[in-house]
Chains A and B, each alone.
Chain A
Amino acid sequence: MTLAPSPRLPRTVQKVVNRLPRYPASRAFTTLLNFTLRRKFPADVLEALEDHCFVIEAEDAGVQLMFTVRRKRFVPTNTLTEPTLHFRASTWDYITLAAREADPDTLFFNRRLSIEGDTETALLVKNTMDTIDIPRTRALLKMMLRAHSP
């Protein structure tokens, strides 16, 4: 069975986001990661992710967030080398994943989430994210999804 299509970003928002320079967006994202998630990541996982390069691409927004892990911190990068993992999905689907409203395997089966690169690292990231409880952030994201649900 195919999932209902996810809502796309409004065209005006797309245009604005599209013009944002890549590096500052990656910096803002990694600052957010370090602030909210870094302490919840087990030390051995951060060690395993050290120096790996990740790209998170929101296709509808035309945004690519590029970062790596150095000394157990998320750090933005500008490098064009091949990333260890490259994620592609819509902004809406990323939010549903972060809110735990969607199952990543389901999105993958439905071609709504694409993951290219090292599968072992992908599983490590996915399964570690599943262990992390951020109830207040999730409640906020769920409220946001309800408010904008089609």
Chain B
Amino acid sequence: MAALSPQATPSSARMRLVCPAGTLPALKVAVDEGADDVYLGFKDQTNARNFAGLNFNDATIREGIAYAHRKGAQVLIALNTYPQPHNWRNWRAAVDRAAEVGADAIIVADAGVLRYACKTHPNLRLHLSVQGSATSHEAINFYYEHFGIHRAVLPRVLAVEQAEKVIARTPVEIEVFGFGSLSIMVEGRCALSSYATGESPNTHGGCSPAKAIRWQTSSAGMESRLGGVLIDRFADNEHPGYPTLCRGRFRVNGDVYYPFEEPTSLNTLELLQPLQAMGVKAIKIEGRQRSPAYVEAVTRVWRAALNHCAAEPQHYHVKPEWQNALAQISEGHQCTLGAYHRPWR
């Protein structure tokens, strides 16, 4: 850890590191490598990473919370999908389970679930999920006034200056994404994959349900299909990404290209100092579907960067070894700053 300088950031202004965990070993390694918060989900459609074999049952979640608390970290449970009238009870039960196992907060997108949690478990801290798609201070303050949300995760569509204006106009803590796979980011409102699979990520908990994905190798190359739709075809020297429709390569007016978004990863290491200065409370790392090896590598880098940024904000700079470590585990050909640096509004 870097030595504290006279300009060191006061502890109240330091950004928390929020890391993903799809399994108990991933949670443990995130905590060991210095995560302040670890977020996870139950084994069902109440969270947006509802994949076979992933996520936590009550026994592993209790063990995970006990492990995190022993080491001073907090556990946030993501209940960030949208219930339907016929299965509303599942989300209600999930809120009750989260409160019962001792989660430090739940991350929620749906207003009905927020209302239930607020009324039934008034001491359970509420975070507004990125899936809530609240991009303005008016929207965030609405959730604050009605449900008492403690923190909101900003959708990945705002430029740095826009995020700064939101922070200045709300009493709610603001969390932003720092690293991980990017899509077109119509968060909480995207139904694109349902055209190919019949299932929406916001109700079933997965952009591309595994049962609809098929990888095949032919003489033309390696192909990924979603619900029978050809998403991409990779030559031997090309790198595949996750097979989602928004990152598919299609023929449009005779040209083959990525009409929505190229497979890329967000990496905001170089923005840490301004993000900290404008009052961002927490940096989120994407990737609950990734392995403990990924969580270990990414948490280690971001802990070092956040420590450096907090200890010596005036001299903060991105170390090449951090970028190198993150580039190796990124999806896609490149890392970008996403919307944070877009000149257009």
Contact = CB atoms under 8 A, between A and B. Distances in A.
A137 interface: no
A125 B210 CA distance: 12
A100 B53 contact: no
Interface residues of A, number: 32
B330 interface: yes
A102 to B, nearest CB: 6
A109 B23 contact: no
Contacts of B327: 1
Interface in A98-150: 100-106, 108-111, 114-116, 119-128, 130-133
Nearest to A102: B293
B51 interface: yes
Contact of A106 (B60, B211, B214, B328): B328
Given A1-B327, A111-B236, A130-B25, A123 B215 contact: no
A118 B120 CA distance: 42
SS of B interface (majority)? mixed
A45 interface: yes
A16 interface: no
B37 interface: no
A119 B292 contact: no
A13 interface: no
Contacts of A1: 324, 327-328, 330
A125 B54 CA distance: 10
B181 to A, nearest CB: 10
Contacts of B332: 109
A109 B215 contact: no
B32 to A, nearest CB: 13
A116 B210 contact: no
Contact of B240 (A109, A120, A121, A131): A109
B215 A116 contact: yes
Nearest to A132: B25
A107 B51 CA distance: 20
Contacts of B279: none
A54 to B, nearest CB: 15
Nearest to B224: A119
A3 interface: yes
B183 to A, nearest CB: 15
B210 A120 contact: yes
Nearest to B26: A130
User: Which 10 residue pairs of A and B lie closest in terms of their CB atoms, listed nearest first?
Assistant: A127-B53, A1-B327, A124-B52, A119-B213, A120-B210, A103-B294, A124-B53, A103-B293, A119-B210, A127-B54
Interface of B: 22-26, 51-54, 60, 210-211, 213-217, 222, 236, 239-241, 289-294, 296-297, 324, 327-332
Interface of A: 1-3, 45, 100-106, 108-111, 114-116, 119-128, 130-133
Given A105-B329, A105-B331, 20 more contacts: A1-B324, A100-B25, A100-B296, A101-B293, A102-B293, A103-B294, A103-B329, A104-B291, A106-B294, A109-B240, A115-B215, A119-B213, A120-B210, A123-B51, A123-B210, A126-B53, A130-B53, A130-B291, A131-B23, A131-B60
